[in-house]
């Protein structure tokens, strides 16, 4: 039997849902498989073992039919229903679902009418005018599809931090649990919290390197062994991600961890500093004439060079070595510093959980407050709230808050910034909210000057507390729209407007490269998950990682304040905050 993982179950259910959509099946049937994939993904326990034992009856959302299919897949490694369904379509058809702007209906149209069954045939059909001639498409759609294909090719070998983190941490725990491993870590871009990465670099300290590299090639997640040696091995996972393992001695581990964490530019600057002190630094040790520093931990390397320890997130050669030399590195924010968060959605708009469910989840995460910010009416595609529905939600939140102790829901709204910079709700309604997140959800093609003016007009409104997902980017899928971020930061400083660090792994927006400038201008950050279901409150961990990468301290982040402090702050006029 082939190895079956949680990811196998999820991927299979999601692909069944897509295939049923292509066949034009009943949408309720399609939704059942998609909901099943989410339940499997978020189940707290060994869902694969329980499915194999046919012990998932009673799990909410898993009906009898789905239960039997999961049992068949988990116990045998295959699913006949899925194989038969997939055999009805070309194997390359699934490539089309990775193209921004193409949903099942459009894919069905190009497949049925143009025999488009792959990225390559789609590209040809766009270039020769065939796609533009289809009803419901047009020349603009064809241009957008071609741009999306170009983006896909550009990002083909990259992965989002949030997509690989759960699997990365699972593999790391497997290595740490091995009896012959003294120390283990993930290095590279992942340790530096880059928003996207090419691969994962694992490092272990061991006296049995060959045993560890062999163990690594035999992990159940391994799809392909690229190269296997006694001290280094490279594997590829089912999702195409390459993982490298280096096995070193305990004495070499601190040097290897520092070296392979990078960045290349940081390491070059560090080696240059070592040479000025008569030392040579590499991935194994210090060498040179005279006394050689004693190193047991990574921090000893920095101290030996007269530096304070540089947190991995800062190692991009963007002033961190100079700050470490001067002793002025910031004390970076920690996840434990967060007391609440803003910008979360419920079933009132396009979220999947109720107000109460979101509140209970927030309390389980140890939060003191949770801001609710469902969409405004202009976001009709997200079931945006009318004035009447928002007013009703405010009243519902007030009633719920009476039942909480040491916790509160904060009524807010994610209000659309319209094309001219005006807001989707009037000031009279916005004044009844605790806060307002103002975001752009359409008209992405404005010039940089017009888009910047659009944001500035919104920020000048006294009821706009913060700007949501500033550049509108979707990592590895959609480039940011044109906007002058320097001017936005300057305006935020002048108008006392918060800028959100949207920590949905697809966004991580505003980009970490701008946060130090914002911090130095006294612009506050709010780390917000943009959660559309309870599980996505976990995105806060990615937000903290990116905030650290942006040199942010506890006091630079709004939602490190207690409930009492945040209520007092929100009660102030915007100009006094």
pLDDT value at residue 405: 95
DSSP readout, 154-191?
HTTT-EEHHHHHHHHHHHHHHHHHSTTEEEEEE-HHHH
What is the C-alpha separation between 449 and 484, in angstroms, rounded? 7
CA dihedral sign, ordered 328, 539, 317, 309 = positive
Q: Quote the pLDDT of residue 5.
A: 79
Give per-residue pLDDT as tens, 371-417. Answer: 999 999 999 888 899 999 999 999 999 999 999 999 999 999 999 99
Q: Is pLDDT at 340 greater than 50 in this prediction? A: yes
The confidence band for 456, taking pLDDT boundaries of 50, 70 and 90, is very high
What 3 state SS string does 106-126 have? Answer: HHHHHHHHHCCCCHHHHHHHH
Average pLDDT over residues 22-33: 86
> Domains in the chain, ordered, with CATH?
1-89 (1.10.150.110), 93-153 (1.10.150.20), 159-250 (3.30.460.10), 255-326 (3.30.210.10), 335-576 (3.20.20.140)
Q: 269 and 210 in contact (C-beta within 8 Å)?
A: no
Give the E-state strand segments of 321-364 in sequence order. 340-341
The answer to whether residues 407 and 369 touch, using CB atoms and an 8 Å cutoff, is yes
Confidence band of 3 (pLDDT split at 50, 70, 90): low
Q: What is the DSSP letter of 536?
A: G
Q: What is the pLDDT of residues 463-477, one digit of tens each?
A: 999 999 999 999 998
**pLDDT at residue 265, as a whole number:** 95
pLDDT at 28 over 50: yes
**Buried/exposed code over 380-417 (b: 16+ C-beta within 10 A; e: otherwise):** eebbbbeeeebeebbebbeeeeeeeeebbbbbbbbbbb
Mean confidence (pLDDT) of the chain: 93
Determine how many CB atoms are found less than 10 A away from the CB of residue 555: 13
Would you call 436 helix, strand, or coil by DSSP? Answer: coil
> What per-residue confidence (pLDDT) applies to 217?
97
What's the confidence (pLDDT) of residue 327? 96
Q: Vertex 346, ends 355 and 492: CA angle to 5°?
A: 105
* Residue 524: both structure tokens together: 């506050």
pLDDT at 152 over 90: no
Handedness of CA 230, 232, 236, 237 (dihedral sign): positive
- At residue 87, does pLDDT exceed 60? yes
Q: Which of helix, strand or coil describes residue 409?
A: strand
Helices assigned H by DSSP within 376-534 = 387-401, 427-430, 448-459, 485-495, 515-520
pLDDT of residue 1: 41
Count other C-beta atoms under 10 Å from residue 87's C-beta.
8
């Amino acid at each position: 039997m082939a190895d079956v993982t949680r990811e196998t179950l999820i991927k299979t259910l999601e692909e069944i849902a897509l295939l049923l959509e292509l066949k034009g099946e009943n949408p309720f049937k399609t939704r059942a498989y998609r909901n099943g994939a989410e339940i499997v993904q978020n189940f707290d326990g060994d869902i694969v073992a329980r499915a194999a034992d046919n012990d998932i009856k009673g799990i909410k959302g898993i009906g009898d039919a789905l239960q039997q299919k999961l049992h068949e897949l988990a116990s045998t490694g295959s699913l006949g229903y899925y194989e038969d369904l997939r055999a009805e379509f070309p194997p390359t058809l699934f490539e089309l679902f990775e193209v921004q702007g193409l949903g099942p209906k459009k894919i069905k149209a190009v497949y049925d009418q143009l025999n488009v069954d792959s990225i390559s045939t789609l590209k040809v059909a766009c270039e020769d005018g065939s796609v533009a001639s289809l009803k419901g498409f047009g020349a603009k759609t064809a241009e957008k599809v071609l741009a999306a294909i170009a983006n896909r090719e550009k990002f083909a070998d990259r992965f989002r931090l949030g997509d690989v983190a759960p699997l990365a941490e699972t593999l790391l725990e497997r290595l740490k649990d091995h009896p012959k491993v003294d120390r283990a870590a993930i290095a590279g871009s992942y340790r530096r919290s880059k928003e996207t990465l090419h691969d994962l670099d694992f490092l272990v300290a061991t006296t049995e390197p060959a045993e560890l590299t062999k163990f690594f090639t035999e992990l159940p997640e391994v799809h392909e062994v690229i190269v296997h040696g006694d001290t280094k091995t490279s594997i590829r996972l089912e999702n195409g991600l390459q993982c490298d393992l280096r096995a070193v001695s305990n004495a070499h581990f601190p040097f290897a961890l520092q070296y392979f964490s990078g960045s290349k530019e940081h390491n070059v600057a560090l080696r240059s500093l070592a040479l000025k002190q008569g030392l040579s630094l590499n991935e194994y040790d210090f060498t040179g004439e005279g006394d050689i520093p004693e190193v047991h931990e990574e921090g000893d390397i920095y101290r030996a060079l007269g530096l304070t320890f540089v947190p991995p997130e800062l190692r991009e050669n963007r002033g961190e070595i100079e700050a470490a030399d001067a002793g002025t590195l910031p004390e970076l924010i920690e996840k434990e510093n967060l007391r609440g968060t803003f910008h979360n959605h419920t079933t009132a708009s396009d979220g999947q959980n109720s107000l109460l469910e979101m509140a209970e989840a927030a309390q389980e995460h140890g939060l003191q407050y949770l801001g609710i910010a469902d969409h405004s009416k202009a976001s009709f595609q997200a079931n945006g709230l009318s004035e009447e529905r928002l007013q009703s939600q405010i009243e519902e939140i007030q009633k719920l808050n009476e039942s909480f102790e040491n916790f509160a829901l904060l009524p807010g709204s994610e209000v659309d910034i319209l094309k001219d910079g005006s807001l989707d709700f009037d000031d009279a309604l916005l004044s009844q909210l605790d806060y307002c997140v103002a975001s752009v959800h359409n008209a992405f093609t404005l010039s940089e000057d017009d888009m910047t003016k659009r944001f500035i007009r919104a920020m000048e409104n006294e009821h706009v507390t913060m700007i949501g997902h500033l550049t509108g980017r979707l990592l590895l899928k959609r480039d940011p729209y044109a906007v002058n971020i320097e001017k936005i930061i300057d305006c935020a400083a002048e108008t006392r407007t918060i800028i959100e660090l949207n920590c949905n792994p697809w966004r991580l927006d505003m980009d970490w490269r701008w946060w130090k400038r914002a911090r130095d201008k006294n612009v506050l950050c709010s780390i917000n998950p943009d959660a559309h279901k309870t599980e996505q409150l976990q995105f806060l961990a990615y937000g903290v990682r990116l905030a650290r990468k942006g040199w942010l301290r506890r006091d630079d982040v709004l939602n490190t304040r207690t409930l009492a402090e945040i209520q007092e702050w929100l009660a102030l006029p915007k100009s006094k905050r």
